[in-house]
Structure 1
Amino acid sequence: MGLLQRFTQRSRPRQAGDALLVLPLALIVVIVMVDVVALGLPLGPSLLIVAPALTASFASTFVTGAIAAIAMVGMLVIGLDAHLLGTMDFDSQFVALLVVSVIVTVFCYLNERRARELALVRMVSEATQRAVLRPLPRRIGPLRVASMYLAAQSQSMIGGDLYAAIRTATGTRLIIGDVMGKGLTAISDAALLLGAFRESAHRQADLPELAAYLDHSVCWNLAEPSEAERAGECFITAALLDIPDALPLIHVVNCGHPPPLLLRGRHASALHATRPAPPLGLGELTAAAYHVDTFTFEPEDLLLLHTDGVIEARDPLGVFYPLTERAASWTLHSPSALIHHLRTDLLAHVGGHLTDDAAVIAVQHTLRRTPTAVGTTHDNA
């Protein structure tokens, strides 16, 4: 199916171009025939200039140049038939056709080169996204997972939002975060944090140790000599989650990030942190203590992680997107269906264009487990 779709997408523009090519060719033929039949009274050799100009709007550089050459040959036929070669009026029309043909052909070439450059930029953007923000699989251990990333910049596929998942010996660890700022600097900071998370998530014994390690990594990056002016001016909000395979629990350390939503029984509730930690990168300035909050997570529940690009999205009237209210109507959906509805509804709310990057992860546990008492918390100073 993928190969068929690619072939269809490429062949449709080509077929449309071939059909449109009949117009300039027919125009040239009609003008030449009318002028030849006009018994020495050429009526429209100057109209031949329309043929290459029209072709440049839909055809390639080579085809545009070919149509221009045919138009010039047609004008020469008219000149020979009417004995106009060498006259000032005919020569001026021929030069005008030649000049316009060169201009539209060059324009067509520049347009093609720009299209190739944009295609290359998109290809590099896609490669960057795959390398930095790897797509989450549909299944991670006993979890069903779906994710979505919407970049605010139209030519970009990745920005300062991030997410990742790592399997451990006892469960799955997730991170979702948002880098302050935009552009290449935000992408660089997101790549740094994701690399540190993937390298350490399976090594650190608990979430507070993992949060402290990630904070140290971000602070260390900002203390680099070339980035000294950024120290204290950049931070990353993040939520770290540990979901055990065999227990109906979620352990969460929230570092200044919007709280996850728990969807259960047609209700959506925010999992607010008891004592949220400061964003990553500010730990050395505030002597952060990382507090773990534990919540129940039953097999029928849905967990929705998101960045502030979702809840701060505004419609044309300035109204924020009501994520909690909308999500409450999707509690009975699968993670992939929930993401699909959320994407469609969010883009409709903002009129098709976001002003900030938005990332979302939906998670559902598939194992039937025995309920266990919850409420255990601990700190790491």
Structure 2
Amino acid sequence: MADFLAKPEVSKADIIAVQEPWENPYNDTTEFCQEVRIQTGLGEICFFNIYNECGTTGTVELLNTLLCDDQRRRRRHLMIAGDFNLHHPAWGGIEAIQDLGSDRLIELCDGADLDLWLEPGTVTRDQNGERTTIDLLFGTPALTERLVVCELALDCHADSDHLPIRTLLEVDTVPVVEIKRRLWKAMDTEKFDIFVADNLPMPPLLTTPRQIDDAVDHMIGIVQRGVHESTPWAKPSPHANPSWTKECGEAVKHSRRMFRQYLATHSEEDWETYKLARNQKGKVIKAALRHGFRNFIKEAIDQGPQGLWRVAKWARNRGQQQGSTMPVLKSSEGGVAETDGEKVNLLRKVFFPQPPEADLSDIHTSQRE
């Protein structure tokens, strides 16, 4: 297990599901079914990692209980991965044997509307010439539509009789609250050194543990105050480009400075100086972006299939604008339209008002004699 977890590709996984748990001989703490709930833009995904002992259907029955009608409505998006120890042609191929308990798993999949993600007949356990398909992955249709790949990950194999399986879903997780951090590359080191030197006196002779602790706490406080005085807070932006360098920023500032100088004088010499700065800025930015993109592609190639899928996703989404949302509308009477239906009715009333009734008072009716 240590060899498996130490592999670089494994460490990049968002979820690592391990089955066939070690049974604790001293305490009854072994769990054969775990549930993890993941918050995504699609909604909450409930991921079950299970182990079903050979010759039994105990864990399958437990899943049936957990996924009863009431619970299934609450768990709209399901993923189930595990070592089921059940054989059936539906997932083992036409030549696979059929266990008595495998029908219970099929009934579970039918009742929960689960799709088999792994290609039928894929050998997931290979030991001493015995090749079987007992490690399975299932998911609901909405997740199946977002399934990128579900395949054997032989590059992550670590001398187990079970072969690892890699599954990749294209879903966006709910962003977490960003932790405030310092912009260390913009730190004014000279200002920091001066502040620490002025506020950190030489400590007296320290003879007790309490004196040492107090001196260390005082030194940490001075360093933190020095950081506060010399280092600004980072202001991350979703539009930030990781390829942007400090040289790019300096080139932009210099170009703007030369342009302001030209606006102040409108001299031909200042115009030529500005053009040189502008052209140099373009060269610096172009070189930085080219270097950054090449590094991005190189990292993707080094990551293997997952990296290539990331590049493909970037290419598909490149340049796409996010859909706009109409704000809350207020009517002339002081009312508020918040829902889509209310907004439609209000806009219809404003742009297509009911025409007033025609004034027919000037029309004289004639009667036939």
After TM superposition, the score normalised by the length of structure 1 is 0.21
Structure that is richer in helix per residue? 1
Structure that is richer in strand per residue? 1
Higher RCO by CA contacts (8 Å cutoff, separation 6 or greater): 1
- Largest Rg, 1 or 2: 2
